Structure 1
Amino acid sequence: MAVQNEPKKHHWLPQFMMKPWVNENGEMATFIRYPNRVVSKQKSPAAIGYELNLYRVEGAQNPVLFEQTFQQFESRAATLREKMLLKGVDSLSADERHAFASTIMLCANRRPEKIHSKTKIVEAQWQDEVKRIVAGDAPATHTSLELLDAIKKGNAKTLVLEAAIQSAQGFGQNVADLSWRLFDFSNEKLKLVLADRPILAGGTNGKIEWMTLPLTPNTLLIAGKQRSYEEIRFKSEFREALAIDIIGGQFRQCANWVVAVTRDPYSKLASKYMTGPDKPAPQGTL
């Protein structure tokens, strides 16, 4: 069923995450990876980080339900980010921390390559089940008949997207339970950048123990176990070292592009880390 004014551009990296990097013309300095070269272009958030109809489910009563749901998540997360920037992380309630963290963690699961590959896997599993039933190797149980019905309706993508949301909510709670800190780099010469894989995280036994995310060119969110950040917070030389480390990390972990406020002084970093074909995400990258 068609939806009036149905959105076509489905952003897998939310536009609100990129908007702090736009200039007065609404564009960002964008470093884009091509085979054996890196090109710098001016791009708006609307023109990058999307795929047409990525979350559209053909045959569904509302084919763009998931895209509309993601937009609702993003709208609230954008509001919560502004609240954090204005009043600090402690101004967020437990529910608000979970909502923001879940939206951010969803970025890892809604990338095009993950949606497409997981949808194919689910479809293949369903097809195998059909073959087993037809061959008489498996009974036509209630569950298997549901699978057959799901194949007819093309619901593989629905299951994948529902699982992505559930996973993000679980990891979001994990991140929400950590200690959050904001670091201000407004007095530093180097401004933070944002990669198409912007979240760096680590942990053990399926639990996230730390996470970093640039919120703006001047603000970094760090979530981690309870500890003191006072030296980094008050000693400028430590803040500068942290900024360099975060900027380098964004360039190292990118898949295809990185956005910045200006082209310089990031061209050398882009050439160093982005030359060559797409590569798997480094360990700890989401």
Structure 2
Amino acid sequence: MGGPKKHHFVPKFLLKPWTYDEKNLWLYLKSNIEVSPRSASIADVGHEKNLYTSRGGDKSVETDFFSKIDGNASAVFKNIIENEKRKLDHEDKIPLIHFVNTFHIRSPELINEIRNFNNSGGKREKVEIKSNLTEKGNASRKVFEKDPHDDIPKIIRLFSTIGESTAMSKIYEHEFLKLISSNMMIYENNSKYDFITSDFPLRVINLSKEESFGVELPSLFGMILPLSPKLCLIISNDSDFITEIISFKQKEFVKQTNIETINTANNQIFSKEKTLKEFIKKHLRIA
């Protein structure tokens, strides 16, 4: 019960379109590309043990929170991929936006970064708080000791609860409203080339050249998420971004998207095709 639990930071339903037999796909490892690919089950990739629980507890964010979002998004993805629904209505967009808005915090890289930051030093932190003005009109400060966060589920829940007065939930709500009012399109790839995917498939593009971004989206952004070898989801609050994508030759857009997928992947790259090793080697940028 309390043993290590596999947490799928890439949901299995998102990988299924890349299977060649409904269960298995071809796995390429950036860390060991020379021995790639190998056949792998979607149940055995895109996961990490105890990713969402610092101490391996029985309760997991995957069960408590992500599974609900995944279930709603999975139904929409099924309509898009299997039932060939291309025009998305408001009822489709809401579960998709919830999925996209939480997807980037499921990366092991980000979660472990949060964990390491919060556990750095392992010492109690002194936090200084400025209180309201005193009767004398001078601002007083109170200093108290605070344990650094060690519980990743709490951090993620803070990010994922809408309506509560926490800094992270306000960020989530703000990002949700920004996304739901953006343009959304299902891009159909009719070229002979296929999209690939990875263990970090959501690409966020900063269209606001003057600013950087971290947890929050930039003021102008584009998002690209491959949904299948022949489909991808595009979201942007800049109409020119989608217009520009439509103007590209399809094979060039697919190629460029695949190159970015290779280089933004943490380590695992997934495909229906067994013959991509040389393409990946050629376009893998060495940090």
Does TM, scored on the shorter chain, surpass 0.5? yes
Q: Alpha carbons of 1:193 and 1:59: their partners in 2 closer, same or farther (altered >3 Å)?
A: closer
2:238 matched to 1:238? no
8 Å contact from structure 1 (residues 183, 219) kept in 2: yes
Higher RCO (CA < 8 A, seq sep 6+): 1
Cα RMSD (Å):
3.5
Q: Alpha carbons of 1:127 and 1:211: their partners in 2 closer, same or farther (altered >3 Å)?
A: same
What amino acid does structure 2 have at the position aligned with 1:156? D
Q: Among residues 182, 194, 197, which one is paired with 2:197 in the alignment?
A: 194
Local SS of the residue matching 1:191:
coil
| Structure 2 equivalent of residue 117 of structure 1 | 113
Aligned equivalents of 1:33 and 1:59: distance in 2?
28
CA deviation map 1:92-138 (0-9, x unaligned): 31x64233123223222122232222123224488332699xxxx96
| Structure 1 equivalent of residue 36 of structure 2 | 39
Deviation at 1:226, TM superposition (A): 2.6
2:271 matched to 1:260? yes
What amino acid does structure 2 have at the position aligned with 1:160? I
Query: After superposition, where does 1:45-194 map in structure 2 within 5 Å?
Result: 45-56=42-53, 58=55, 63-85=59-81, 86=83, 88=85, 90-93=87-90, 96-124=92-120, 127-129=123-125, 139-140=143-144, 144=145, 147=146, 156-165=151-160, 166=169, 167=171, 170-185=174-189, 187-194=190-197
Deviation at 1:10, TM superposition (A): 0.2
2:220 matched to 1:223? no
Local SS of the residue matching 1:79:
helix
Local SS of the residue matching 1:201:
strand
Structure 2 regions of 5+ residues with no counterpart? 129-140, 161-168, 212-217
2:259 matched to 1:248? yes
Q: How many aligned residue pairs are there? A: 255
8 Å contact from structure 2 (residues 7, 62) kept in 1: no
What amino acid does structure 2 have at the position aligned with 1:18? L
Q: Percent identity?
A: 16
Normalising by structure 1, we get a TM-score of: 0.74
2:26 matched to 1:29? yes
Deviation at 1:39, TM superposition (A): 1.6
Structure 1 regions of 5+ residues with no counterpart? 280-286
Stretch deviating more after TM superposition (245-254 or 19-28)? 245-254
Q: Alpha carbons of 1:50 and 1:33: their partners in 2 closer, same or farther (altered >3 Å)?
A: same
Aligned equivalents of 1:7 and 1:75: distance in 2?
23
Normalising by structure 2, we get a TM-score of: 0.74
More helix by share: 1
Aligned equivalents of 1:102 and 1:164: distance in 2?
12
